[in-house]
Structure formats: C-alpha cells, structure tokens
Amino acid sequence: GESVGLHLPTLSVQEGDNSIINCAYSNSASDYFIWYKQESGKGPQFIIDIRSNMDKRQGQRVTVLLNKTVKHLSLQIAATQPGDSAVYFCAEKTMNRDDKIIFGKGTRLHILP
Amino acid sequence: DTEVTQTPKHLVMGMTNKKSLKCEQHMGHRAMYWYKQKAKKPPELMFVYSYEKLSINESVPSRFSPECPNSSLLNLHLHALQPEDSALYLCASSPDREKLFFGSGTQLSVL
C-alpha cells in the first residue's frame, strides 16, 4: 500500500542550529510533495513544496530535498528559531489520484534555548 | 481576504444531537476539503469538493454529511455521532488542488 511517514516523532534542536526533518514515502507514483507546519491550536500551514522532477527547492530559511531513488524527503530549516517549534508534516499527492493529498505521521520540533 | 474561517471553534454534542460545522473562504478557490485530525496524528482526508461537486468521499460513515452550497462555503452536517468521532475537524481550500490553505479547525467533543 502507500504511505507517507516520518522516522522520528520528536526532534530537539538548539536554537540557532539547523534542523533536518525526514520523511519516507512508499508510493513511487507520488509526484508532488509538500511540507506543512502545524502550531498548537492552529491548522497546518504550507511551508514549501517540490515536484518529482526536481531534487531540491529552497525557500526562506527552508530547503526541501527529494531523493526519488530511496523515496526520501527532507526539510531543512536554517538557524532554527523559537517560532519554529511546531509539528511538521510531509504530504504527498499522486497525479493519477486527482485531489487526494495524504499526510505523513508528523515530527514535533522542539527548540532548546 | 486570505483566510479560511471555520465555525464554531469548539463544539460539544451528545450522541443524539444534530449539528453543523461551517467553513468559508473568499479567495476564489474552487476546491474545498474536510480533514479529521485526532490528537498527535496527521490529518486524515474525509471529503473533497471540486467546483461545488463532491469528488472524493474517503468511505466516511453516513453520520457525516458534507454540503457545498456555493463556491465559498462548505458545511459538514453531523448526526448521531459516536465518542470516537471526537477530533479536530479541519477545512481547507485550494486554488489548484495541490497547495492547501487550512482553517484553524473545529475541536469536536462527542459525549
């Protein structure tokens, strides 16, 4: 079957360090991937996306890397700040499945002072 | 207006009650979504509307009944729910059926 998941439920990072959050997916037909940030009491917020014809995409302080060979996705956050504390979800969409966007398990990012 | 607004923010209902969750967006998005999220779990897709027509129903029990009266509104009608239906219900809209814009959700408790 298909699934999108994460390796670690919790990640603790020192303020100012870089954070790397990983995601593994099993559906080789997935062609669009998204990272969302969910703060307590809020809905998920779009961070960055990447299509399967790319292997890297950069935003403001964030970079997404896609390794299709091993079906692995990562989110890198540079110079982590207290405001980055949240749960991070990867999500996938498969072209032949129209409107379905499926979320992975999530990683809680905890910032150490 | 770049927000998805969900009401109410909190709802407590009994198993015999009928209630409705509401979602509104004025971004001109033609795809709207309902997700269910249990504590410490990822959002699970329930329904998708595209151009006001139901395009996806993820085998959701009939005690949940979605409705899309127009391109800006999405409702979720609830009837005879079970305690295990207690969760955060998230509405989202999308301009392209890829990037989702979420509301803050309705926290539902079924007693």
Q: Average pLDDT of each block of 10 consecutive residues along chain B (111 residues)?
A: 91 94 96 95 95 94 97 96 97 94 97 93
Chain A residues closer than 8 Å to B97 by CB: 98-99
CB contact under 8 A, A103 and B43: yes
Q: Which residue, among B29, B58, B39, has the nearest Cα to A46 in the 3D structure?
A: B29
User: In the structure, what pLDDT confidence band is assigned to residue A29 with cuts at 50, 70 and 90?
Assistant: confident
- When computed from its CA atoms, the radius of gyration of chain A, rounded to whole angstroms, is 13
A7 pLDDT more than 60: no
Distances (CA, A) of A57 to A33, A37, B27: 11, 17, 26
Residue B100 and residue A44: Cα distance in Å, rounded?
9
A10 or A28: which carries more pLDDT confidence? A10
A1 pLDDT more than 60: no
Q: Which of A14-23, A56-65, A75-84, A94-103 has the lowest mean pLDDT?
A: A94-103
> Looking at residue A4, what is its pLDDT?
57
A6 pLDDT more than 90: no
A27 pLDDT more than 90: no
Any chain B CB within 8 A of the CB of A89?
yes
